[in-house]
Amino acid sequence: MSKLISVLSVCGFLFFSGPFIADVNAADDTKHKIVIQVSTDDARTQKIALNNAVNVQKALGVDEVTIEIVAYGPGLGLLTVASSQAQRVSDLALQDIVFSACNNTIKKITKKKGKAPKLLDGVTVVGSGVVRIMELQEQGYAYIRP
């Protein structure tokens, strides 16, 4: 009988403490996370990607959202000094938006042109843009492709 009471006590404790434990863990995940893909050299689409990032920050607050823009293929041009959006990208990087450039694309451009593209300050180089997007999605990031 005492064994039954012990088991019921433990079950009761677990039942009633579960919501409190869940609330503590939920507090860690309250920040929203999005990854925005840029894989085109279309200036209009690149501008929309940047607008999406700005609009999300305005709607949710800078402290409430983590944003990473991943550029690969023809989209890598957005993150270079030659980009028509170079100043805007630099400004947004100072506002806690992370910019990631695909190293596979950088290698391909370097081989084709004989020199690496000059990336903007603050741009992070990742091994593969597609893999980076996949990893972020596995971490709970919402995927946006303008």
pLDDT digits (tens, 9 = 90+) for 55-69: 999 999 999 999 999
Whole-angstrom distance, CA of residue 124 vs CA of residue 128: 12
* Predicted confidence (pLDDT) per residue in 39-98, tens digit: 999 999 999 999 999 999 999 999 999 999 999 999 999 999 999 999 999 999 999 999
Q: In Å, how far from its chain's centre is CA 54? A: 14
Q: What per-residue confidence (pLDDT) applies to 115?
A: 97
Helix (H) or strand (E) holding 55: helix 43-60
Mean pLDDT of the chain: 88
